[in-house]
Structure formats: structure tokens, C-alpha cells
Amino acid sequence: ALSGHKGWTRAWRDPQPKKHYDVVIIGGGGHGLATAYFLAREYGVRNVAVLEKGWIGSGNAGRNTTIIRSNYMLPGNIGFYELSMKLWERMEQDLNYNTMVSQRGIINLYHSDAQRDAYARRGNAMRINGIDAELLDGVQIRKVLPFLNYDNARFPIQGGLLQRRAGTARHDAVVWGYARAADSRGVDIIQNCEVTGFIRDQNGKVTGVETSRGAIGAGKVGMAVAGNSSRVAAMAGLRLPIESHVLQAFVSEAIKPLIPGVITFGAGHFYVSQSDKGGLVFGGDIDGYNSYAQRGNMPVMEDVCEGGMAIMPMIGRVRLLRQWGGIMDMSMDGTPIIDRTPVDGLYLNAGWCYGGFKATPASGLAFAHLLARDEPHEEARRFRLDRFRRGAMIDEKGQGAQPN
């Protein structure tokens, strides 16, 4: 602003699509852009395009509640999400971009003995794997979160599971940081370019994509379209084990600093953090029916706010500023898929449910590994598409699929 908005240079180019790329990635969200970045940086694959039907970050990458954590328990998830946390911890140096990674901690509240035992088990699994976890009792939780409703609650708060290294990151900055870093390594980021079909040879192998800006040839095509996964896969004749649902989020007017990190309600669907501007950023459950709508609605708003009021009655007079929705790619076990598809040349990154923001760096690295080497990344080897047929689901109930 001091320069009168003159002399700015583009953070990434606005290239015309080429006729052919070694790898085409569909979807300019966090996962697609991170994949392109790691393809160029780690695997030397630079003839890459990211095709985005709108503008980059217009999907869930720019709509989420920005929570990052690695408090998972099951083999398959635990190493993957901790890899992601480690990549978050050095992201700003890697990208030379301020992504506002803020490790202020997450506390999952528990409200019963059984829930405490489940959290103790989760915390132990985390610690065995070298991940930080602390189980707080009622006295300790009152010290860190004195403003919660302890005494007159339908579901009294008994304690919480704390991961101090969890926190939040600025979602738009993550998109822009990956875009700039990928672009500077030669990746073409092509916005307003919707993929409308696949081009296949006589053997059925995918050799390119039809787009709203013409046909583009590709050695390999990677899908990272989140809530639109079923729609895009259907163009290649695939039916995925994924349903799309709306998840909403809310921001209140700014209030004084109150909430130290992230808090999740254990007896209902509500989680909250506070932005640097002071707004309470919160959300809850997905809508109960399938939809591709990117907008919110009143019944869920009421449900989420009831959850908030149950643990923090003092927010009752805070005004809501904004509410929005994004399309979740809900897999049947709450765990993602990073795998080849039965269609030669087509690769899939999907099923992030409502927790894929925290996975962005590891997902990008693992998908890039798969695309470059044709074999799964060590930490993503269980995220196979055929696990439902094999009965090898990773059903991390209440945590893998927890909304945030």
C-alpha cells in the first residue's frame, strides 16, 4: 500500500496451457499444488500442469477452519499425519512464505470415564510413536481453560487430551506459498480451466484431458479434486467409495484474546479456535445428506451453535459474521486414498473427509512419490483404493473422521 500498489510482480505466472505435460494434476487446492511442488522439488519432474476450474484455493483449501494436528492412533494414519506435522513445522522455511503456522495446541475434551480411557489409549499410541500427547484431568483442564462450563453442564467436562504441537495455519497462504514455489520450479498453474473429460488410447490408457481451454496431453494424470472426486472419476468410468457432503464453518465478530489453541467438544459436534483478528472460528458436523452445494444452511448452524453454547455459554451474545460451506469427499472409513486407479495412467488422491487440510504437505509428498515412482510412499502405503474389498479399512472412529 505504501508504494501505491505499484511495482508488484506476479507471485506465479498465468501461462497458456501447453499441448502436453509429463504430469497433469486436476485440482488447484492445497493437495494438488503441494503435489506439483514436491514433484518438481523432490522428484525432478517439472513438466507439470495444475488445472483448476476456478481460482486456486476456491475449494476446501480456502474454506476450512485451518486446524493442524497429528493426534491419530491407528497404524497407517499415525505415521502419515506425524510426517505432515513435521512438514508443517518447516513449511515456512521450505517455501520461504509466511503460512502463519501457529502451534498453540489442541485439547479434545472428555466427558465420561469411557471417553477418558479411549483418549488415554490414543495418547499412549501417540507417545509410543514419538508424538507429544498429555492427558489432562479436571484440575489441570480448569487451569488452562478456566472459561468453560464446568459446573452446570449436561455433559460435565472431566478433562482433555492435549497435543501441544497442534494448532492452526493460514489456509490461503498455504495455497499461495505452494503455488509460488511450484511455479518458480517450472510448474504451469492454469486457472479457469475445468477438466470435462479424459482422453484415452485404444487400450483405455489415459493420455490426456479435455478441458474448457482445449485438449491437453499427459503422460500421467493425477486427480486431487476433493469434494468433486466422484464426479471427475465418473468421467473415466470409475465409481469411488466416496460420498460428498457439505461441511460448514462460522466466524464470529472479534473479541479479546480468549481461546489459547483449539478446543473440541467431546459430547457433541463443535470445535473452535480464535483467529489472530479475534474472531471465533468454529464448526461442527457435516450435513446428513449428499450434496455438491458449497453453501451453509440454518439447521446445522443451530446444531453447531448449541454445541458451542454447551461448553461456552458466555459466547451466547457474540454475533456471527460469516458462515460458509465446502464439499467433503467422505470415504467409507474416514481415511484417504492415495493410489493408482484401475484405469492406466490415472492416479487418485481423495477421501480426505473433513480433515484434509492438516494432511496437505504429506499428501502432496506422497502423491508426488506415487506419480513419479509408480509405487506408494512408505507412509501412505495403506491408503489403497482396494482396501474396502480386502477388508483392510482404517476406521479411526471419532478422530480420523473428526471434523477439523
Q: Footprint of ligand FAD on this chain (CB under 6 A)?
A: 26-32, 51-54, 58-61, 63-67, 194-195, 224-228, 232, 247-249, 283, 326, 352, 354-358, 404
* Least Cβ distance, residue 387 to ligand FAD (angstroms): 19
* Least Cβ distance, residue 54 to ligand FAD (angstroms): 5
* Least Cβ distance, residue 247 to ligand FAD (angstroms): 4
Task: Could you list the beta-strand ranges (E) of 56-183.
Answer: 67-68, 106-110, 134-136, 159-163, 167-168
Q: Which is nearer to ligand FAD, 149 or 294 (CB)?
A: 294
Please state, in angstroms and rounded to a whole number, the distance separating the CA atoms of residues 216 and 209: 5
The three cell numbers locating residue 14: 498465468
* Least Cβ distance, residue 62 to ligand FAD (angstroms): 7
User: From the centroid of its chain, how far is CA 344?
Assistant: 27
* Least Cβ distance, residue 285 to ligand FAD (angstroms): 11
* Least Cβ distance, residue 205 to ligand FAD (angstroms): 20
Count the Cβ atoms, other than its own, within 10 Å of residue 102: 17
Q: Which is nearer to ligand FAD, 18 or 156 (CB)?
A: 18
* Least Cβ distance, residue 127 to ligand FAD (angstroms): 22
Assign 3-state DSSP to the chain and report helix, strand, coil percentages, each to 5. Answer: 30, 25, 45
Q: Which is nearer to ligand FAD, 68 or 267 (CB)?
A: 68
Mapping DSSP to helix (H, G, I), strand (E, B) and coil, where does residue 21 land?
Answer: strand
Query: Which residue type is seen at 243?
Result: E
Q: Which is nearer to ligand FAD, 334 or 376 (CB)?
A: 334
Name 399's Cβ contacts closer than 8 Å, sequence gap at least 6: 71, 72, 73, 122
DSSP string, 202-270: TT--EEEEEETTEEEEEEEEEE--GGGHHHHHHTTT---SEEEEEEEEEEEEE-SS---SEEE-SSSS-
Q: Which is nearer to ligand FAD, 29 or 159 (CB)?
A: 29
Q: Which is nearer to ligand FAD, 158 or 379 (CB)?
A: 379
- What angle do the packed helices 360-373 and 30-43 form, to 10 degrees? 50
Task: Could you list the beta-strand ranges (E) of 278-319.
Answer: 279-290
Query: Which residue type is seen at 146?
Result: P
Task: Could you list the beta-strand ranges (E) of 260-345.
Answer: 262-264, 271-274, 279-290, 320-331, 337-340
Please state, in angstroms and rounded to a whole number, the distance separating the CA atoms of residues 85 and 215: 38
* Least Cβ distance, residue 357 to ligand FAD (angstroms): 3
Q: Which is nearer to ligand FAD, 195 or 310 (CB)?
A: 195
* Least Cβ distance, residue 384 to ligand FAD (angstroms): 19
Please state, in angstroms and rounded to a whole number, the distance separating the CA atoms of residues 112 and 105: 22
Task: Could you list the beta-strand ranges (E) of 332-379.
Answer: 337-340, 346-350
Q: Which is nearer to ligand FAD, 158 or 336 (CB)?
A: 336
Q: Which is nearer to ligand FAD, 153 or 320 (CB)?
A: 320
Beta bridge partners of 387: none
Q: Which is nearer to ligand FAD, 158 or 183 (CB)?
A: 183
* Least Cβ distance, residue 265 to ligand FAD (angstroms): 14
Beta bridge partners of 134: 162
